[in-house]
Structure 1
Amino acid sequence: MRQCLGLFLPQMTQSLAMTASDFTFAIAIQNIVWGLVQAPLGAVADRWGLRPVMVLGAMAYIAAMAIMTATAGLWMLILAQAMIGIGIACTGSSLAMTATARAASPERRSVVLGIVGAFSSVGTLVIAPVLQALLGGWDWRWGGVLFIVLATAMVPAAMITGRVDRLPQPAALRARVGSVIGEALRNRRFLVLCATHFVCGLQLIFINTHLPNYLALCGQDPMLGATALAIIGGINIAGCLLAGWLGQYHAKNVLLGITYLARALVVALYFMFPPTPATTILFAAAMGMLWLGVIPLVSGYVADLFGTRNMATLLGVSFVIHQMGSVIGAWGGGMIFDTFGNYDLAWRIGVMIGVVAGMVQILFGGAGRWWSGARPAPAAG
């Protein structure tokens, strides 16, 4: 659902007399809240269990979508997006990947993380065209009703996922949150991972939020934006599976760096020319292979470095930085559009920092002896 919110932008801004920067400011608030609460909620889940956090998060998501559907102005939209941020922090990739990593053996962990990551793309593949069809023939609030129904389905899923709490975790690895985070922040590889995760957040949220509006600005059919998001989601199923499989055998920091470099190249090639249905579909297919494959790689790398006992906390720390990038991608893109009337400067900035992130991750994100492709020994837990 989160990846399809940009489809609401044209109708909601017109219906509620908002600007693009108003809407994207609310999306930025979502990402700020998500980033701020991810680490504390991860620490709660590590200490008291994943199930209560995930179930309460699913309920928060239901309430958020109800508020968004009833919104009459900017402040209600901001409240809804803030609650969505809390819901994502409780039910999104950090806790889902923590549950997965605990349930999978170290030998199969990367592959299984890729499988679970791929299923988020199944959602995008299905939801984007269904939502756009609703928006094309009905008031945007019916799209909100659809999202309420989908959020409700998350509650039993969270209950089932929470069964991983029954699995034993090594008592020797229990530690105070402060000491866990302090150890991670003294680790060069983790710091590089967090810094490049900033760029990941910027790249993804910019495309999610602004691609439909960019295509409408260029005179394309509104359905093309939804089709592009659906293709990204569909192809990303293969992208996540491939990333998980490669991460089982090759240095994850190098794979992450290649991903950021490839994203920058694809964005540069697409925005250099006026969009057409054909180039947009090709762009979506290429981005789909590079989209959420970072999730199994980042999650697997954190598990390799520190084990799984405090994994939700440490993934939460990395997501604070990720969400800072998301704020810049969503709100900054809207401000650039409102100022200049186009996205030219936004995509140029995105390409430049994508190249820098890719090089930094490859050169400084791992130990030299891992470059041969040998995997590091998994940490205890």
Structure 2
Amino acid sequence: MHATKKRSPWMLLICFGMILFLCIGQRHSFGLYLRPMTMDMGWSRATFSFAIALQNLVWGISQPFTGMLADRYGAKRVMLLGGVCYALGLFGMSVSSNGVALASSAGLLIGIAQSCTGFGIVYGAVGKLFTGEKRGTALGVVGAFGSLGQFVMLPASQSLISHLGWAAALLTAAGLCFLIVPLTFGTSASAAKKPDTHEQSLGEALRQAFRHKGFWFLTLGFFACGFQLAFIATHLPAYLADKGLSPTVGVTALAIVALANIVGTYLCGYFGEKVSKKYLLAAIYALRAIALATYVMVPASPMTTYIFAAVMGLIWLGTVPLSSGVVGQIFGYQYITTLYGFVFLSHQIGSFLGVWLGGVLFDMTGNYLAVWAIAIGLSVFALIVSYPIDDRSIQIRPQVANA
């Protein structure tokens, strides 16, 4: 780790991890609001789905730009802004009276907030602070906090919705997410420093990445990941309720995903420093294809759902430290936050389509079968494009000053 006199490595990891805990934990709770909000407000599922889909799209579109700000001015300032936007967005969502207000709060504001406090910024900062084998372990630890947030906040959100109603639950969530603001002061300002001595410009780094086939293969594969995770996180509770299962089954399933993901994310970060990251990514997409196809073909029950959740949980967010690691392995860590931001944009375009198409195709057909089929096909596609990624480190071309 790069020297920092102010805070211990574990204190840094805890603060970064708790920011992800709140960001990702709340992000995966939005699916619990789909049925109560649409039923109370008389909205279609497409209306709610569009707002959450927009959230994912805004997150993706803004990620390269928040990444540039973090690379230039430091992650701390960006995360602080994100904490404020998260709290305001959840408050606005709680008082939304129509689809436009919901899209503005749940979509625009929270999308920007997640861009500032999610994996792109946090992983970029941690990747700069830790070096060598410690980097993979540190990313795994921080990622596990995000999974723990999902595990804790899902049942907590469901309990609040059941006892206080969805509006009060959102207000409570707004207060919790505002805690991101003080947590940012526990992170290190050294996250803004460039760990490499190369004097490469940002423009040259982007041109070098955009000319690299492996960068585009990784980006295309990440599209599939976003589609699958966003669809399942948002629509699985409603899918199970449509099958006649208790709402508790959906909450429990997503909690199992989160619990298994604590282990899975850490292991992916750890083994990503031991074996080829691209092969681990290909293996994850292959396992997802098998898990998705098997789950759709068997009758839905609590037991089959919990098994599916456990399998998916082990490979849920493991793609994030691996994909970020591939970018850093190829291009170095000087502009990792910005470069990963463009990869993550593809993930969020997939997330937008996964959430939005889930609502639209359900309203058109009365079921989710078509969306499950698309998710399975995308797993196969991601497997195919991940395998040939050239993940060898390239020579960093520094900016040449004019004579």
TM-score strictly above 0.5: yes
- Which residue in 1 is equivalent to 2:48? 23
Taking the aligned partners of 1:272 and 1:15, their CA distance within structure 2 comes to 33
| Residue of structure 2 aligned with 1:234, choices 224, 249, 259 | 259
Aligned amino acid, residue 83 of structure 1: L
Contact 1:303 1:379 in 2 (8 A): no
Matched, 1:365 2:389: yes
Q: Deviations over 1:256-278 (max 9, x none)?
A: 11111111111111111221111
**One-letter code of the match for 1:75?**
V
Residue of structure 2 in register with 1:315 after alignment: 340
| Deviation per residue, 1:267-303 (Å, 9 max, x gap) | 1111112211111111111111010011110111111
- Matched-pair contact (CA < 8 Å) for 2:154–2:254: yes
Kindly indicate whether residue 342 of structure 2 is the aligned counterpart of residue 342 of structure 1: no
1: CA distance, partners of 2:192 / 2:209: 26
Inter-partner Cα distance in structure 2 for 1:354 and 1:43: 30
Name 2:226's counterpart in structure 1: 201
> Is 1:253 aligned with 2:278?
yes
Is the CA contact (8 Å cut-off) linking 2:194 and 2:334 kept in structure 1? no
Distance 1:166 1:44, change over 3 A: closer
Out of 166-175 and 7-16, give the one that drifted further: 166-175
Distance 1:320 1:166, change over 3 A: closer
8 Å Cα contact 1:303/1:378 also seen in 2: no
CA apart distance, 1:171: 5.0
Deviation at 1:366, TM superposition (A): 2.9
Partner Cα separation in structure 1 for residue 314 and residue 191 of structure 2 = 32
Q: Which residue of 2 aligns with 1:269?
A: 294
Please say if residues 49 and 162 of structure 1, whose CA atoms lie closer than 8 Å, have aligned partners that are also in contact. no
Distance 1:347 1:168 in 2: 43
Aligned partners of 1:168 and 1:356: how far apart in 2?
35
Does the Cα contact within 8 Å between 1:134 and 1:140 map onto a contact in 2? yes
- How far off is 1:161 after superposition? 2.3
Q: Determine whether 1:82 maps to 2:108.
A: yes
1:38-117 alignment runs, 5 A limit? 38-80=63-105, 81-117=107-143
Structure 2 counterpart of 1:204, which letter?
L
- Is the contact made by 2:74 and 2:189 (CA closer than 8 Å) also made in structure 1? no
The match for 1:218 among 243, 250, 267 is 243
Root-mean-square deviation (CA, aligned residues, Å) is: 1.7
Corresponding position of 1:332: 357
Paired residue secondary structure (2:333) = coil
**2:330 corresponds to 1:297:** no
TM-score under structure 1 normalisation?
A: 0.94
Separation of aligned partners in 2, 1:243 and 1:257: 12
Matched residue, 1:373: none
Paired residue for 2:313? 288
Q: Once the 2 structures are TM-superposed, how far is the Cα of residue 353 of structure 1 from its aligned partner?
A: 1.6
Q: Distance in 2 between matches of 1:334 and 1:316?
A: 27
Q: Which runs of 5+ in 2 are unaligned?
A: 1-25, 398-403
After superposition, what is the alpha-carbon deviation per residue over 1:164-191, rounded to whole angstroms, capped at 9, x for unaligned? 3365533534413x32221101111111
> TM-score scaled to structure 2, two decimals?
0.89
Given residue 390 of structure 2, which amino acid in structure 1 is its aligned partner? G
Q: What code does the residue aligned with 1:82 have?
A: L
> Match for 2:154: what amino acid?
A
Q: Check 1:4–1:173 CA distance in 2 against 1; reply closer, same or farther (3 A cut).
A: farther
8 Å contact from structure 2 (residues 75, 191) kept in 1: yes
Task: Please give the alpha-carbon distance, in whole angstroms, between the structure 1 residues aligned to 2:190 and 2:177.
Answer: 21
For residues 163 and 98 of structure 1, the distance between their equivalents in structure 2, rounded to whole angstroms, comes to 13
The offset of 1:163, in angstroms, is 2.7
What does the per-residue CA deviation read over 1:32-63, in whole Å, with 9 as the maximum and x for residues that have no partner? 11111110111111112111111111111111
Distance (Å, rounded) in 1 between the aligned partners of 2:130 and 2:50: 39
Distance 1:237 1:130 in 2: 18
